[in-house]
Amino acid sequence: MEQETNVTFAFLDTIQKTTKHMLHSVLKSLLVTLVFSLFGAALSAQTADPNLANQYFSDGEFEKAAALYGQLVEKERKSDYYFMRYIDCLTKLEKWEDAEKAVKKQIKDQPENNVLFVVYGQIYEEQGKTAEAEAQYQKAIDKMASDYAAVIRLANMFQNDSKFDYAVKTYERGAQLTRDPNRFAYNLGDLYRRKGEPKKMTEQYLNALESDPGKLPSLQTIFARTLGPEDLQELQTQLYARIQQNENPDYIELLAWSFVQRKDFKSALRQYKALDKRLGESGQRVMRLADDAAEARDYETAIAAYEYVMTEKGQTSPFFFDAKQEAMQCRRRKITEGLNYTQQDLVILETEYEAFLSQYGKSSQSAPIILQLAELEAIYMRNLPKAIQLLEELKQTPGIRQNVMARLKIDLGDYYLMHGDIWESTLLYSQVDKAFKEDTIGQEARFKNARLSYFNGDFQWAQAQFDVLKASTSKMIANDALDLSVFIMDNLNLDTTSDAISLYAAAELLVLQNRYDEAFLKLDTLARDFPEHSLQDDILYLKARIWEKQRNFEKAIPLYEEVADKYKDDIRADNALYALAQIFELRMNDLEKAKGIYEKIFLDYSGSVFAVDARKRFRILRGDKVQ
């Protein structure tokens, strides 16, 4: 009996333990379920927060980001942003089946959204399935709507992915759908430019120009930056073909412009003259071309262009006197920039000036031409009395504009200085300085007055003025002021007397007055009496300038070379090199020699005032496009 009772108690104890264990398991299960439910609720609460999804994406936690973006897509089916991010996450995780399933579902929901086929194609392309990808890309183009925005959207999507060929197909299909062959021509031109296909680029840009003449300036900018010499020839070929079919003025304008880019001003003039006559214009385009040709030293074409304006438009043209003035200027530059002009050449030019003034009279309108004639007389024909007389008479002419009068007084001051009448010079310079205190021409007059003080030996006052003028808005005035300021500082402030620099300043004045023999004597005296003075490089430099002014380049060149070689660290070295480069380029026509010297200037003397211009001239001589 007792044994049975023990068995019963053992049985009951086992049942109790089992029950407790089962209850514990049930409670544990319920607790786990509750925890997961709470976690799920928390996660569900997070799905509405796109910021968290974006943060996960930025941190590279694509698994978490995909879960959130997936829920956001379900919540906002038409959100392209969430969908694209979702697909991007799946692609990065290489969950290809999930990505395809998602795209198919989206296409089913939005069958009109052809961009989805591009997304589908990108998924295939990521897997290396090229044929399947291309089929989807083509499907995107085939299902494209016929409105402008849809075409641009799809093309941009291809373009952003560097699929330029599909972008081209998109625009071509868009042109068909909109029934406007040139609607997307400019976009196609941009695409072919990015693809590096200048011929097709040119064709499409010209198509765009046909539809929208307002694009001409932007096309000129693009062509200037992208077309090389052979490409410009292709542009001209296409333009000639189009002009034969349609004499569109914009085509003719662009053709003329292309000739200017190639420095073929003569051919450009032919086109601009035709355009001027066709449109009945005032000759303004031809004047601009003439200015460009003169700047490039194609004086023959420049003169022909100016003469066209004078003869075709007549004296009533607002450009008549400007054209005559510039034409005469070109004739003078053509003669004086040459190596071997004669006195007879100058006399012929003088006669032409006088014939024009005899025919049209001396007036405020012809004042610029009288200024040119006075310069010819003073600088080249050495007839200072005639130059002074011309300007004194002009000064009394009524109606002279203020800026012209200022230029007249400065030139007249120069001629009086050359004639030895320093008092008249300083009076005239001071009048201009007072009337145009804040203008560049006033600063020029102030500089010349300061230079007069330098010639007269008042070096400290002159240097103070030059130091102020170093901040001039005129690059030329600022450079000249800096040059003289440094020169005085180097050769006076460390010297016990001013005798040496006074001799040099006097020699410079003699050079300005064309009294070259006296200047040579003064320089020889300076070299003999002050053999150890720091002015030795300046003496050589000034002698070289004298020979250059007399067009004796055989004597000028070795002196400039001696300064550049022997005094490399002195202030005249870069001046001498620049003078040499100018002689070889403009006088000797030795462009390779000039190019090498220009390069030396901006490489070895990068701080020189000539460095910027030297680099520009080097690039021009090398054949670069310089704006």
- For residue range 238-282, what is the model confidence (pLDDT) as tens digits? 999 999 988 889 999 999 999 999 999 999 999 999 999 988 889
Distance CA 417, CA 457 (A): 15
pLDDT at residue 155, as a whole number: 92
pLDDT at residue 22, as a whole number: 44
- Burial classification of residue 36, based on how many CB atoms lie within 10 Å of its CB (0-12 exposed, 13-18 middle, 19 or more buried): exposed
Q: Which amino acid is at 446?
A: R
- Confidence band of 495 (pLDDT split at 50, 70, 90): low
Distance CA 403, CA 408 (A): 9
What number of other Cβ atoms are within 10 A of residue 431's Cβ? 16
pLDDT at residue 69, as a whole number: 83
Per-residue pLDDT tens digits for 106-126: 888 888 888 888 888 888 888
Q: Which residue has the tokens 């005085």?
A: 488
Q: Which of 403, 428, 433 is nearest to 417 (CA)?
A: 428
pLDDT at residue 438, as a whole number: 86
pLDDT at residue 494, as a whole number: 57
Distance CA 374, CA 491 (A): 36
Q: Which of 427, 421, 415, 503 is nearest to 459 (CA)?
A: 503
Query: Contact, 274 vs 295, CB < 8 A?
Result: no
Per-residue pLDDT tens digits for 528-556: 999 988 899 999 999 999 999 999 999 99
HSE (CB half, 13 Å, CA atoms) of 409? 27
- Confidence band of 1 (pLDDT split at 50, 70, 90): very low
Residues in the chain: 627
pLDDT at residue 116, as a whole number: 87
- Confidence band of 496 (pLDDT split at 50, 70, 90): low
What number of other Cβ atoms are within 10 A of residue 314's Cβ? 9
Distance CA 384, CA 424 (A): 14
Distance CA 473, CA 435 (A): 17
Question: Any residues with CB less than 8 A from the CB of 252 and at least 6 apart, and which?
Answer: 243, 271, 274, 275, 278
Mean pLDDT (whole number) for 482-489:
90
70-84, 136-150, 191-205, 283-297: which has the minimum mean pLDDT? Answer: 70-84
Q: Which of 556, 621, 627, 542 is nearest to 589 (CA)?
A: 621
Distance CA 95, CA 69 (A): 15
3-class secondary-structure state, position 196: coil
Mean pLDDT (whole number) for 550-563:
95
Q: Which residue has the tokens 């759908």?
A: 177
**Percent of the chain scored above 70 by pLDDT?**
91
Q: Which of 600, 262, 225, 557 is nearest to 618 (CA)?
A: 600
Distance CA 295, CA 288 (A): 11
pLDDT at residue 39, as a whole number: 39
Would residue 589 be called left, alpha or beta, if left means φ above 0 and alpha means ψ between -120 and 50 degrees? left
Distance CA 476, CA 433 (A): 17
* 37 pLDDT higher than 50: no
Query: Contact, 562 vs 586, CB < 8 A?
Result: no
Query: Contact, 170 vs 150, CB < 8 A?
Result: no
pLDDT at residue 626, as a whole number: 62
**Percent of the chain scored above 90 by pLDDT?**
60
DSSP string, 291-317: HHHHHTT-HHHHHHHHHHHHHHH-TTS
Per-residue pLDDT tens digits for 270-282: 999 999 998 888 9
Mean pLDDT (whole number) for 506-526:
95
Q: Which residue intervals of 93-197 are DSSP H helices?
A: 96-109, 115-126, 130-142, 148-160, 164-178, 185-195
Distance CA 271, CA 286 (A): 10
Query: Contact, 102 vs 74, CB < 8 A?
Result: no
* 33 pLDDT higher than 80: no
Between 103 and 519, whose confidence is greater? Answer: 519
pLDDT at residue 339, as a whole number: 67
Distance CA 265, CA 542 (A): 38
- Confidence band of 625 (pLDDT split at 50, 70, 90): low
pLDDT at residue 100, as a whole number: 85
Query: Contact, 158 vs 170, CB < 8 A?
Result: yes
Mean pLDDT (whole number) for 166-188:
92
Distance CA 167, CA 174 (A): 10
Would residue 420 be called left, alpha or beta, if left means φ above 0 and alpha means ψ between -120 and 50 degrees? left
- Confidence band of 493 (pLDDT split at 50, 70, 90): low
3-class secondary-structure state, position 32: helix
pLDDT at residue 6, as a whole number: 47
Sign of the CA dihedral 407, 409, 410, 414?
positive
What number of other Cβ atoms are within 10 A of residue 260's Cβ? 20
Per-residue pLDDT tens digits for 390-449: 999 999 999 999 999 999 999 999 999 999 999 999 999 999 999 998 899 999 999 999
Tokens read off for 291: 């200015």
Distance CA 77, CA 262 (A): 58
- Burial classification of residue 1, based on how many CB atoms lie within 10 Å of its CB (0-12 exposed, 13-18 middle, 19 or more buried): exposed
